[in-house]
A = this chain, B = another copy of it.
C-alpha cells in the first residue's frame, strides 16, 4: 500500500484517453491543436489572459519561472524548507545562471510577511549583495499546509511594494485550491502572483506540468529558454492533451478532492500524532521507529521524515480500503 508519494501514482483515465487521441494527430513541437488551445484554456480557468507552456517536470517549470523573474546577479526569496532549495539539485541556480536563494523561515514551510520582512531587512541595498528580485512560495507547502488567498495576497502586496516578481510553485496547486475554497484567480494573479507552476503529474497526470504566466510578456523569452533547456518536446501534443483532458470536466479538482479527503480521514485517526495540520494530501506524524516498523510490517509504504517522524501521502487513485486500513493502523499504534 503505497503512501510514499503522489509522484508514483498512475495517470488517470482521462489522461490515458488523451494520449491515445493525441496519437491520432501529428504535428511537431507545439504547433498542434492541443498546444494551441493551452493559452485559451488557462485564460478561461483564470479569468484573465494568460500564457501557458507545457514542460515535463515541475522542476523545469520552477526553473523557467524563476529565470523569467530574476537576473543572474539577483536573488530569490524562498523558504528554507522549500522544494526549490532542497529538492531540485540546484535547478533554480542552473536556470537563472547562478541567482542566489535567500532563505526565510516560517512555521510549516510557509513564508509570512514577517519572516520575509526580516530577511529583506537584513539585505543591504548595495552592489556587494545579490539584490532580491523574486520570491517564491509553494502552495500547498512541503508540509502540506495551504496558503489562503488572503495570505497569498499579503505576500503579493509585499512583493509589489518591493518590486519582487512573485512565483507560486503549485506542484500541488489543485490540492491547495480544493482546501482554500477560492477560485484559481483569487489564489494567484488577483493576489499578485506573476507566474505559477501548475502541477498535474502528482494529481493524475503523466508527464506534463503547466507554466502559467499572468504577465503574458514573460512568456516571450521563456519560449527560448524552454527550447534551450531541452524542454520543447518534438511531440508536445501529448503534453498539452494531458492537461486539457484534466481541465475538462474538472477532473483535476475531482482528483485533488479525492486525495485531500483521504488525507483528512487519516488525519482524523492520527490525533495528536499530527505534526502539522492536514490541509492537502500529506500527513506528517510522530512515530517511533518501532511504530514505523509496525506500520511497514502491515504493508504500508511511506517515507521517514527526520527522526521519529513520517510522511504519508494520499494519491488521487488511492484505494479507499487502503486509506481506511491505514487510518485504523495509525489509530491502533
Contacts and interface: CB of A to CB of B under 8 A. Distances in A.
Interface size class, chain A: 35 or more
Contacts of A74: 224
Interface string A97-141: 111110100000000000000000000000111110000000000
B98 A73 contact: no
Nearest to A4: B28
Interface string A60-75: 1111000000011111
B89 A129 contact: yes
Q: 10 tightest CB-CB pairs across the interface, nearest first?
A: A60-B230, A93-B98, A59-B230, A7-B234, A97-B97, A7-B28, A73-B224, A89-B227, A8-B28, A90-B130
21 contacts: A4-B28, A7-B234, A8-B27, A8-B28, A19-B19, A56-B56, A56-B207, A57-B230, A59-B232, A72-B90, A73-B224, A73-B228, A87-B128, A91-B230, A103-B103, A127-B232, A130-B228, A202-B234, A207-B235, A207-B239, A231-B231
Interface of A: 2, 4-5, 7-11, 16, 19-20, 23-24, 26-29, 55-63, 71-75, 86-91, 93-101, 103, 127-131, 201-202, 206-207, 221, 223-235, 238-239
